């Protein structure tokens, strides 16, 4: 009798443990997929309706069904502790580590320092893991380094903590890479073997979005015009709907005008693509509102100038090439030996595109055939003497 009772209790406990495991996996999935925690209860009810094994064993009476938001948060906290301990164990086990850090500001305007650690697993696989996003007292290099050391100490990296850190990855800001007072310089004083890496994607974005615009004012003005057009439509639903109707009437692609961000890798190409394929619709919309809207009149004049059209066609040949290079730089397992050949190939590709680009060739051919005044998508374009 006692043996049967023990077995029954063991089975009940096993079923309850399996139910708790299912609930934890569900809460973990919500966090992993960025789904609101308040969906936990309805998702668990769905699992019950789908006859998921042992889910009903989660109940501990009529009023304790573990379906509340608080239950989900407790499950997620438990998962977070287990994951953090595993990351800590892996960091301790790895002989050397690299750190990737970046400053940020949250919605409450509090300085934060996001910290990732890259290390070798037991199977000799390079792995990058998020460690912590602590508050930052100020944006000085000393404060950033102190904060980083604290994070490493919390993960029980043996003292001195920087003796194990052989790589630093950052966005290349002066506070990070300054030769005298930057974070990398301060870290090298404690570990001369440290290798400082300026993010390749950041460097490419800086070279394409800022390098040329600082020298060639026309490209800077062009980017500003795109952002002005974006602001014109984005803040007024009526204008956006009006442009959409024009696009539908002209049977062109229905595209939203995008904003250009200096630190978002593909924003320029997305904005450029939308301008190029919506040019006729934009001209039609601005022309129909030019008499009653001074801004529309100004935009109409700008985008029908040959300079704007010429730059658009030129960049349509160049930007896709740099975008592909950016995709290479953002690969998870980038082979550094392949960087130089890829960059050299991209440079050659750009040189060819500058001379024989399809979009420029089409524009030049139209200009050659029709002269200084030609039609583009049924709109007259005048080429100034300059």
Asked whether residue 103 falls in the same domain as residue 208, the answer is: no
Average pLDDT over residues 215-227: 82
Does residue 78 sit in the same domain as residue 144?
no
Whether residue 283 is found in the same domain as residue 345: yes
Do 181 and 207 belong together in one domain? no
Q: Where are the alpha helices (DSSP H) in 33-140?
A: 40-49, 69-93
pLDDT of residue 385: 42
Domain that holds residue 298: 203-382
Please tell me whether residues 243 and 139 are part of one structural domain. Answer: no
Structure tokens at 271: 């904005």
Contact predicate 54/18, CB 8 Å: yes
Q: What is the CATH number of the domain that holds 134?
A: 3.30.420.40
In the predicted model, is pLDDT for residue 282 greater than 70?
Answer: yes
Give 333-383 pLDDT, tens digit per residue.
Answer: 777 788 889 889 999 998 998 888 888 888 877 776 665 565 665 665 655
Is 89 a domain residue? Answer: no
pLDDT tens digit sequence for 110-127? 899 999 999 988 888 888
Regarding whether 222 and 193 lie in a shared domain, the answer is: no
pLDDT of residue 146: 92
C-alpha 349/C-alpha 342 separation (Å) is: 10
Is it true that the peptide bond before 349 is cis, omega within 30 degrees of 0? no
pLDDT band at 100 (very low <50, low <70, confident <90, very high): very high
pLDDT given for residue 15 in this prediction: 64
353 and 286 inside one domain: yes
Q: How many CB atoms lie within 10 A of CB 132?
A: 19
Q: How many domains does the chain have?
A: 3
* Same-domain check for residues 123 and 213: no
Are both 320 and 175 inside the same structural domain?
A: no
In a domain, 308, yes or no: yes
Indicate whether this model's pTM tops 0.85: no
Say if 342 falls within a structural domain: yes
Structural domain includes residue 241: yes
373/304 same-domain check: yes
Please tell me whether residues 139 and 210 are part of one structural domain: no
Same domain, 56 and 8: yes
Start-to-end C-alpha separation, the chain = 103
> Residue 9 has what pLDDT?
45
pLDDT of residue 354: 85
What percentage of the chain has pLDDT greater than the value 70?
Answer: 86
* Three-state SS annotation for 160-218: CHHHHEEEEEECCCHHHHCCCCCHHHHHHHHCCCCEEEECHHHHHHHHHHHHHHHHCHH
Residue 28, CB-side half-sphere exposure with 13 Å CA sphere: 12
- For the stretch 152-164, pLDDT in tens is 888 888 778 788 8
3-class secondary structure, 77: helix
């Amino acid at each position: 009798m006692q043996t049967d009772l023990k077995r029954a209790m063991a089975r009940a406990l096993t079923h309850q443990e399996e139910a708790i495991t299912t609930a934890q996996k569900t809460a973990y999935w919500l966090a992993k997929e960025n789904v609101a925690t308040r969906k936990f209860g309805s998702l668990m009810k769905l699992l019950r309706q789908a006859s998921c094994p042992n889910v009903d064993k989660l109940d501990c009476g009529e009023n304790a069904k573990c379906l509340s938001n608080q239950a989900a948060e407790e499950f997620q906290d438990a998962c977070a502790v287990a994951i953090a301990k595993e990351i800590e164990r892996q960091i301790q086990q790895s002989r050397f580590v690299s750190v990737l850090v970046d400053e940020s500001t949250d919605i409450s305007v509090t300085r934060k320092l996001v910290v990732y650690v890259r290390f070798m697993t037991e199977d000799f696989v390079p792995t990058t893991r998020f460690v912590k996003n602590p508050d930052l007292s100020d944006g000085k290099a000393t404060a950033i380094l102190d904060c980083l050391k604290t994070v490493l100490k919390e993960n029980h990296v043996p003292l001195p903590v920087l003796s194990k850190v052989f790589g630093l990855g950052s966005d290349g800001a002066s506070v990070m890479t300054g030769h005298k007072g930057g974070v990398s310089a301060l870290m090298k004083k404690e570990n001369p073997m440290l290798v400082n890496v300026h993010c390749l994607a950041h460097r490419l974005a800086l070279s394409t979005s800022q390098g040329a615009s600082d020298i060639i004012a026309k490209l800077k003005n062009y980017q500003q015009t795109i952002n002005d057009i974006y602001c014109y439509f984005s803040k007024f639903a009526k204008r956006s709907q009006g442009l959409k109707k024009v696009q539908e009437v002209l049977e062109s692609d229905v595209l939203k005008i995008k904003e250009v961000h200096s630190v978002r890798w593909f924003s320029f190409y997305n904005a450029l693509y939308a301008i190029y394929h919506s040019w006729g619709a934009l001209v039609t919309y601005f022309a129909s509102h030019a008499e009653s809207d001074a801004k529309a009149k100004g935009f109409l004049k700008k985008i029908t100038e040959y300079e704007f059209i010429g730059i658009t066609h030129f960049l349509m040949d160049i930007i896709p090439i740099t975008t592909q290079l950016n995709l290479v730089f953002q690969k998870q397992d980038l082979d550094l030996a392949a960087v130089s050949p890829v960059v050299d190939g991209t440079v050659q590709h750009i040189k060819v595109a500058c001379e024989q680009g399809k979009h420029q060739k089409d524009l030049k051919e139209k200009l050659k055939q029709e002269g200084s005044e030609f039609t583009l998508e049924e709109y007259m374009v005048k080429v100034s003497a300059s």
